[in-house]
Structure 1
Amino acid sequence: MNGFSRSTIRLTLASMFTLAILAAYGNQPAHAATTAEQDEAATAKPVAASAITPAEARTIAKQAYIYGYPLVDSYRIQYAYFVDKSDPSYKAPWNHIKNIPNVYTPADTAVQTPNSDTPYSWAGLDLRAEPMVLSVPKIEKDRYYSIQFTDAYTFNFDYAGTATTGNDVGNFIVAGPGWKGETPKGIKKVFHSETDFILAIYRTQLFNPADIDIVKKIQAQYKVQPLSQFLGTAPPSAAPTVDFIKPLAKDEEKTSLEFFNIMNFVLSYCPTDPSEVELMKRFAEIGVGGDMAFDADKLSPEMKTAIEQGREDALQAYAEGVMKFSEGRVSAADLFGTRQSMKNNYLNRWLGTIGIYGNSEREAMYPVLRQDSEGRALSGANRYTLHFAADQYPPVNAFWSLTMYDLPQSLLVSNPINRYLINSPMLPNMKKDADGGITLYIQNESPGKDKESNWLPAPKGAFTTYMRLYWPKQAALDGSWTAPKLIRTN
């Protein structure tokens, strides 16, 4: 989702194995290529097919595809948001903030499993020339907000907001890998990114539809500016202009070898982490890495087949991971976080693209209800209930929600009452059970007028539901509270 392209470099297959080249550059900050470097990259000779066997190439290709998919998918989104002004999802140029004064609806299709609880603000940050300063106003104590910082690898490397830095006025520096400056006066905290391009995702809680004007006033006070502008000093030299390469469509990411060009391009703005130097050297054996040229047309038929087989092996590993996720053997808490917390588990990072840009566990938890109480897949052909006893509501410091998504698209579901989720701020208007709890009705058709306040509409076909617990309490974090099961009632 980070748009980082230099279109003059015609990288063909390298995207998938981008990591390899970074090892060649050690841990130096990535940079925009000079004309000479671009010419060299354009004519770079692919690794000779005889250097490794097809079997070895297949193994490396599997590793590189697993590693690179989140980078490529994230780039696709960020290209739409910050580069392609003709795209319906376009937000703003790099280093500008775009406030969205409404929640997501089924019309929003760029991001899968979108949150429809909180109006978003988006800022794609280009940190090559200098750090950026993000300023926030004082926000009332009971309103949750957060700024999630996600790098080009899709690691959530830090947060600002209610649960971390509080709701007071604040100025925050976000700095790239090459910045070594001292913290200026008036800065509350400095956040360091290991990649040149990052995403800042703002979430501002909306209490109810009538609350939207207050949210708009808060959003209007969010500010993004270069550090030099904040300090009133002369700006540094501008970073070289980036000519972003066109991303693949979502479905093409699993079928086109152009995937590797895009991966290589993204990696060219990502200095190699010390923990991945050897991994990058391994990827380099098949010509993958930032600034590398890899031409699939120059591969022997055997090597091309081997790389395609490696991709299929990776997709099989992903499918097995999805199954574990559906069965609860892998949780959403395993899919999002810092590099350190995820321990370089690249398959889990890929699984995180199911709900790309999901929060880290201490900011939000995502119990996913993909099956009913008997382990059967969910379908709008059936009817379900979900019961919360009076003392068993999700334990949160902020709020919780349950959102409906269709499958396989993982998008919000159109319905006659325009209700895409049920959340805790809606509880006062819902019908209570005799025990003081609530029962939700999850089905395609209305459960009847007397129960519609508790109805979460489902599509006619396959679907899944995601709970979101914002700023979860310890009972959720340690597992002493668990989400109830969906009960099929027909």
Structure 2
Amino acid sequence: MMRKVTLLTLAGLLLAAPSFASAPASGNCGRPPQSLAGATTNEAIFAKDACDPYSLAVMAYIWGKPFVDSAKIRVFFTKPDDPLASRPPSVAGAALNRFGHGRVLADPVNKSGVGPNNDTLYSNATFDLQSGPFVVTTPNFGDRYYTFSVAHPDSSTSASYGSRTHGPKLPQLFLHAADYQGPIPVGMIEISSGDRYLHLWGRTLIRSADDLPKVHALQDAITVQRYRADGTLEPVGDPPVQRQWPAGNDGRAFLRQLAVAIADMDLSPQDHAMALRLAPLLKAAQADQWPAEIRGRAIEQGMIDGEEIATHAAQGFGILTGGWSVNLSGPRFGTDWLLRAAIAKDQIFVTVPEEAIYPIARTSADGVPLDGHSRYRIHFDAPPPVRYFWSITLYDDSGTMVANPVDRYSVGNRTPELARADGTLRDIVISSGRPRDAGALWLPAPESKFYLMMRLYGPDDSIQTGQWLPPAIVKQPTS
């Protein structure tokens, strides 16, 4: 059954939503709300009887952050105001229904989203399924690792197709809206969604800097065509028009952005119920000024506290070990909205866990936040048990790679200096200054807070079950 919250039903929802002044007093609406800044569970954040503006603002941030962040990424990549404009070579952006390709590995210039990898070239297409259906054709990748992940506007990923599932050559992909009534071409992989927008994130492994021309040729061979009812294919045509994205960074802007984001989404029953619960707040945010019964400061404080909750959750979810948080569920959140917000903060659009696991660390093994004023060491007894590749990438607190004198943003199995002649791995030293230990490999850090993300592509069963865990991040003496 379709559960789509269309623009019409959303407009009706906002028009029908009672104002805070007219809403009947219930729960704690008439009482001063308690601060939620220290909340650590969904039950505390989404208390059933909470209905005051502050509490609803916290809920809106935790529940809606993945939607807003995903939509911002769509807008960034597709450039609705100038969709055919050129993009920087590190940004895999393009107009709707077209592939854009990153032509260089992500680096400090790449500001798209948070936590991009430094291992693969990205290829990304954002589809407006209402203007489809579409057929995606990819080349033969040979023995090179590649994957295409199906990502949704709630920040979840439902599938990943590539080397793991089909070897060197994928069948054609057939993407269509959930209400499509036409035939499904024989032999194609069917991808369907009730959401208007759908991302297809491609990742192609780079083995060395000399490898780029070969991967560029593979990217250039990826095509998107529109499927006609008679079974023929045609060009995708002009980019569809997108809804106007509200500008701003304050609480009112966030709520307006959230309303626009969910207008094009197929919400689950649980998410739809939350949209109804937040309708009075979303309605109030559309006005030029907050209604008299809402203090703007309460909304802003709710947003601040919501961000603090998400930040804290991002520091410790899943299995906690040696400073690392290991999420074995990947982007399969279910109704765990706090986990969804935590993943969106640092790891949005991660692929499914059987494709890759992404341990993340914001603290060292002693629980103290990672900071470039300290020095850290990671020791591997043996390489991680992966089929394809592994790496550790460093980001500043905002999720951007950091410029450094050796242009090294990650280390992993393709870093020539990491492995000794006998196959053992050198220790990795993380610091803002060059280490004196000539036997270690330096991963430069900023003189400020940072975090680490490990990527384990093709994880074996010991990783997927949590039997293998990353080695500890050990803080070193500074003298």
TM-score band w.r.t. shorter chain: 0.7 to 0.9
Distance 2:239 2:96 in 1: 12
The answer to whether structure 1 residue 478 and structure 2 residue 476 are counterparts is no
Question: Does the alignment pair 1:73 with 2:69?
Answer: yes
CA distance in 1, matches of 2:292, 2:213: 61
Q: Which amino acid aligns with 1:411?
A: T
Contact 1:333 1:360 in 2 (8 A): no
Aligned to 2:196: 196
Q: Residue 102 of structure 1 contacts residue 212 of structure 1 at CA under 8 Å; is this kept in 2?
A: yes
1:372 paired residue number: 364
Amino acid of the residue matched to residue 201 of structure 1?
W
Residue 403 (structure 1) aligned with residue 393 (structure 2): yes
Q: TM-score, normalised by structure 1?
A: 0.80
- Indicate conservation of the 8 Å contact 2:175/2:191, yes or no: yes
1:438 corresponds in structure 2 to 426
In the aligned structure 2, how far is the partner of 1:43 from the partner of 1:488?
Answer: 52
- The structure where helix makes up a greater share of residues is 1
Deviation digits for residues 346-369 of structure 1 (CA, Å, limit 9, x no counterpart):
111111122222222221111223
CA displacement at 1:468 relative to structure 2:
0.5
Q: Which amino acid aligns with 1:395?
A: P
Q: Which residue of 2 aligns with 1:466?
A: 453
1:385 Cα deviation (Å)? 1.9
Contact 1:98 1:122 in 2 (8 A): yes
Deviation of 1:217 after TM superposition, in Å, equals 1.5
AA at the equivalent of 2:276: K
State the distance in 1 between where 2:430 and 2:297 align: 46
Q: Which of residues 346, 356, 374 is equivalent to 2:348?
A: 356
Q: Is the 8 A contact 2:394 2:453 kept in 1?
A: yes
SS of 1:77's partner is helix
Distance 2:230 2:211 in 1: 31
Does the 8 Å CA contact 2:426/2:439 hold for their aligned counterparts?
no
Number of equivalences:
443
Aligned partner of 1:345 among 336, 351, 364: 336
5+ residue gaps, structure 2, are 31-50
Per the alignment, do residues 434 and 215 of structure 1 end up closer, same or farther by CA in structure 2, a change over 3 Å counting?
closer
Per the alignment, residue 14 of structure 1 pairs with none
Equivalents in 2 of 1:372, 1:98: separation in Å? 37
Q: Which has the higher contact order (CA 8 A, sep 6+)?
A: 1
Distance 2:238 2:103 in 1: 32
Equivalent position of 2:34 in the other structure: none
2:224 maps to 224
1:333 aligns with 2:327: yes
Once residues 230 and 389 of structure 2 are traced to their aligned partners in structure 1, the CA distance between those partners, rounded to angstroms, is 34
Report the equivalent of 1:134.
136
Verify: 1:423 aligned to 2:412, yes or no: yes
Cα distance per residue 1:179-225 (max 9 Å; x no partner)? 243321341x1012231111111100011111112111111111122
Give the alignment partner of residue 51 of structure 1, picking from 11, 20, 23. Answer: 23
Does the 8 Å CA contact 1:395/1:476 hold for their aligned counterparts? yes
**Deviation at 1:370?**
2.6
Task: Say if 1:409 and 1:236 are closer, same or farther in 2 by CA, change over 3 A.
Answer: closer
CA positional deviation for 1:331 = 4.1
- Residue identity in the other structure for 1:443: S
Is the 8 Å Cα contact of residues 319 and 327 (structure 2) preserved in structure 1? Answer: no
Structure 2 CA distance for partners of 1:312 and 1:448, relative to 1, 3 Å: closer
Residues 388, 96 of structure 1: alpha-carbon distance in 2 compared, 3 angstrom cutoff: same
2:75 counterpart of 1:82: no
Secondary structure of the corresponding residue to residue 429 of structure 2: strand
Distance 1:331 1:443, change over 3 A: closer
Give the AA of the match of 2:447: K
Structure-2 residue corresponding to 1:256: 251
- Asked if structure 2 preserves the Cα contact closer than 8 Å seen for 1:379 and 1:463, the reply is yes
- Counterpart residue number, 1:166: 167
Aligned to 1:121: 123
Equivalent positions of 1:90-109 (< 5 A) are 91-109=93-111
Indicate the SS of the match to 2:175: strand
CA distance in structure 2 between the aligned counterparts of 1:363 and 1:117, rounded to whole angstroms: 15
Q: 1-side partners of 2:369 and 2:388: how far apart? A: 30
**Is the CA contact (8 Å cut-off) linking 1:335 and 1:348 kept in structure 2?**
no
- 1:193 corresponds to which letter in structure 2? S
Query: C-alpha distance in 2, partners of 1:237/1:139?
Result: 28
Residues 360-369 or 237-246, more deviating: 237-246
Q: Indicate the SS of the match to 2:76.
A: helix
**Equivalent in 256, 262, 273 of residue 278 of structure 1:** 273
Question: Do the aligned residues in 2 keep the contact of 1:52 with 1:285 (CA within 8 Å)?
Answer: no
Partners of 1:369 and 1:485 within 8 A in 2: no
Give the partner amino acid of 2:208: N
Change over 3 Å in CA distance of 1:308–1:335 after alignment to 2: farther
Mapped partners of 1:227, 1:278: distance in 2:
35
Question: Shift of residue 305 of structure 1?
Answer: 5.3
Retained in 1: the 8 A contact 2:320–2:326? no
1:345 to partner: Cα distance: 1.1
Task: State the Cα distance separating 1:119 from its structure 2 match.
Answer: 0.6
Given the two structures, how large is their TM-score scaled by the length of structure 2? 0.82
Contact 2:135-2:175 within 8 A present in 1 as well: yes
Matched, 1:315 2:307: yes
CA contact (8 A) 2:395 2:401 kept: yes
Residues of 2 paired with 1:325 and 1:45: CA distance?
38
